[in-house]
Amino acid sequence: MTNFIAKASFAALLAIASIPATVSTAAAAGAERGFIVDAQYHRPPPVYRGCSPVMAVRAARWSGLRDVRVVNVTPRRVVVAGRDRRGWDRMTFANVRGCPLIRR
């Protein structure tokens, strides 16, 4: 029984002693490589200050209008017109970030 306990404790000691040696080298190599890749390919997200006509047309198409075109752009609103299943329709979006719908 003492022979079994001695072998088991020796195996456990070897297993615990080998863990720090493998982890430190792997972590050092991975951190440098990950930083270089992130630094090379990182792009900042685009900043939208208002509702562009392209965004308003996309929102109108998503709402069900077809043949959408921009009718009027002012500092406060973006107006687009198009056809839906009942005929011609017009949508007005606020000229702020996110293009919230004002009137349909």
What is the rounded average pLDDT of the residues 80-90?
A: 93
Instruction: Show the 3-state SS of the chain.
Output: CHHHHHHHHHHHHHHHHHHHHHHHHHHHHHHHHHHHHHHHHCCCCCCCCCCCHHHHHHHHHHHCCEEEEEEEECCCEEEEEEEECCEEEEEEEECCCCCCEEEC
58 vs 38, residue with greater confidence? 58
| pTM score of the predicted model | 0.53
36 vs 89, residue with greater confidence? 89
What is the rounded average pLDDT of the residues 65-85?
A: 94
Band (pLDDT 50/70/90 cuts) for residue 78 is very high
Band (pLDDT 50/70/90 cuts) for residue 35 is low
Examine the pLDDT at 56 and tell me if it is beyond 90: yes
